[in-house]
Amino acid sequence: TDYGSSLTVSLPAALQPHQPFQIIVRYTTADGPAIWWLDPELTYGNAKPFVFTQGHSVCNRSFFPCFDTPAVKCTYSATVKAPAGIQVLMSATQSTYLEEEGVYQFYMEYPVPAYLVALVAGDLIHADIGPRSRVWAEPCLLPTAISKLSGMVERWLTAAESLYGPYIWGRYDIVFLPPSFPIVAMENPCLTFIISSILESDEFLIIDVIHEVAHSWFGNAVTNATWEEMWLSEGLATYAQRRITTETYGAAFTCLETAFRLDALHRQMKLLGEDNPVSKLQVKLEPGVNPSNLMNLFTYEKGYCFVYYLSQLCGDPRHFDSFLRAYIEKYKFTSVVAQDLLDSFLNYFPELKEQCVESKAGLEFERWLNATGPPLAEPDLSQGSSLTRPVEMLFKLWTTEPLDSVAAASCVDLTKWRTFQTVLFLDRLLDGSPLPHEVIKKLSECYSSQLDSMNAEIRIRWLQIVVRNDYYPDLYKVRRFLENQMSRMYTIPLYEDLCTGTLKSFALEIFYQTQNQLHPNLRKTIQQILSQGLNPLPAIDTTAVTTDTPAMVLEDKVSEATNGAISLRDVNVSA
């Protein structure tokens, strides 16, 4: 199956209990869900091949024999041989390079779950950006990475340490990966993986890196023992991320980002339905289901809301910070279940235990964990009103009939707004689409040229509005955008919208022209989207397709539904 098979080893009968023993497994692996091989054309530099691994959740069993469960942690060492000119990195605390032999040696001295073992190799160079941090990237991207992050990571680490105790992993390095990286970011210890595409979106870059910094405590040091409780890592990391951003950027910015994410959560709730079991924090993992399919905005945002609720029970978030420091100290390098967290919480605050807060009507801890639907309580975001109120006012101007206030709306200069304000505004317009033709026409006249110069997070949302409203005058911008994008997060949402409406033939035409610049995995996903509703066609050898051959490469077998589309469309999910 896609999930491999078990390897059973019979131990000698003479082996005494607790007696150390060694098992050597000789194996080869060339391809698999964890291992992504890229030809030079799929990199930014187009010069050298590239490979990276992505183990979350249960992919690393295709990389090396392991106990592929977050309940088991171990140290590891690795020896990697690579051609000259190829830099190899791993999520390890120690590394050496024997240049004469072309051999790298790595050692992770702290126990980690299998999914956090990661490797990347390619045309990578580095620069120090802090006393314990460096950034790795392809040569053409390194100056941008330095300019965006120099001095910043140390600031975020210091803030996190002031809240949750010492950073235990030694170094915090970042490597920027080609756009084929299938998610936004991954918290591999000592070496965070981030997709290069996010470099142009400053505020998203800040949030994504800080989220991965938070995982150094919540997820990496203390890990959910079962994939059915991923919120223990993601909900706590999201809470910690927002505590760090509050300390470094202020409460208003944190509330704005939170409002944007909670908007996306309610959008996903509307799409999935309030009774959908995946909206539970404790999701039942059925046999044969990939745990990654259970990762959604509930894991992050409903988990965050529960953690935020716990912090409010303490009266002062600093008291909750103190509890979390003690929680990390008690459980670091181990894996826990929700009851461990909640028991520790009540033991740390005996006065709350005496008040039976875990059984408060309507807000019972058990209900938080096992009820479907939205969070039982959401945070007070009034401290962000200076940033969210202008968004709400502008949205109201554009959606209240008659459009007498377009003149006032057109005076708003979106270039002066924060990115999260603009994406919040555009997301709300997306929710209201299709809009009256006169509205979309006026929107384009007012903002299209402004949005053209903004980052991809903003542009993709405007282009989705264009597609969902069949606004043909701006369709050429959709084509231009897709011709220059190779990442999943900036292609899938547009292809889905194009194929949902009347523009599937337009989508097919763009795909003919761009498919060879896409990673095979992404190409396959887009083929699945394009093939829905069409008669199955035989697969065509892509090497035989030229620009003069109007042939569409479609697979006659869709291996699985593209049910990850909702999360991709509604929010950039970091691991």
| Closest-CA residue to 463 (of 450, 449, 445, 477) | 477
- If you search the block for the tokens 């595409």, which residue do you land on? 197
Catalytic residue among 110, 239, 300, 308: 300
327 is an active site residue: no
Q: Which residues contact 169 (CB under 8 A, 6 or more apart)?
A: 93, 110, 189, 190, 216, 220
Q: Which residues contact 481 (CB under 8 A, 6 or more apart)?
A: 459, 460, 463, 490, 494
| Cα–Cα distance for residue pair 531/545, rounded to 1 Å | 18
Query: Which residues participate in the annotated binding site for Zn(2+)?
Result: 211, 215, 234
115 is an active site residue: no
Quote the DSSP letter at residue 295: -
Catalytic residue among 187, 212, 257, 378: 212
Query: Which residues participate in the annotated binding site?
Result: 211, 215, 234
| Cα–Cα distance for residue pair 469/143, rounded to 1 Å | 39
| Closest-CA residue to 43 (of 482, 517, 574) | 517
Kind and range of the H or E run holding 321: helix 317-331
Q: Omega before 434 cis (within 30°)?
A: yes
| Cα–Cα distance for residue pair 400/478, rounded to 1 Å | 28
Kind and range of the H or E run holding 81: strand 73-81
| Cα–Cα distance for residue pair 425/434, rounded to 1 Å | 15
SS (H, E, C) 509-557: HHHHHHHHHCCHHHHHHHHHHHHCCCCCCCCCCHHHCCCCCCCCCCCCC
- If you search the block for the tokens 């944190």, which residue do you land on? 254
Q: Is 48 helix (H, G, I), strand (E, B) or coil?
A: coil
Kind and range of the H or E run holding 216: none
Count of beta carbons in the 10 Å neighbourhood of residue 71: 15
| Cα–Cα distance for residue pair 362/210, rounded to 1 Å | 33
Which residues are designated catalytic? 212, 300
